[in-house]
Structure 1
Amino acid sequence: MNSEWVISDRPESLYIDLCNCLILICSIQHQMKVNLW
């Protein structure tokens, strides 16, 4: 899958990917905290 390399040609799409990763990580951490409580 070379879709990442195709997307990397545009910097704004790279920022979108980074934001999506951050949102995913935050949501996972939030779910883990909720499970702890």
Structure 2
Amino acid sequence: MIVAPMINNIFFIFLFLVVNTVLDIHHKTKKTTTPPAGFH
């Protein structure tokens, strides 16, 4: 499977945004005081 670098970058940016959003929602709903390792 050949993936163009631009499409690959878009995929990783999209994945990063999704993970960020999920962690943000999880943080707000669970009201946790300790952030996940590697995230501020």
Alignment TM-score, normalising by the size of structure 1: 0.72
Kindly, what percent of the aligned residue pairs are identical? 6
Which of 15, 22, 29 aligns to 1:21? It is: 15
Runs of 4+ aligned structure 1 residues displaced above 6 Å come to none
Contiguous gaps of at least 5 residues in structure 2: 32-40
The AA in structure 1 aligned to 2:13 is C
Higher normalized contact order (CA 8 Å, seq sep 6+, divided by chain length): 2
**Bigger fraction of residues in helix:** 1
The AA in structure 1 aligned to 2:22 is I
How many residues align structurally?
31
Contiguous gaps of at least 5 residues in structure 1: none
RMSD after superposition: 1.1
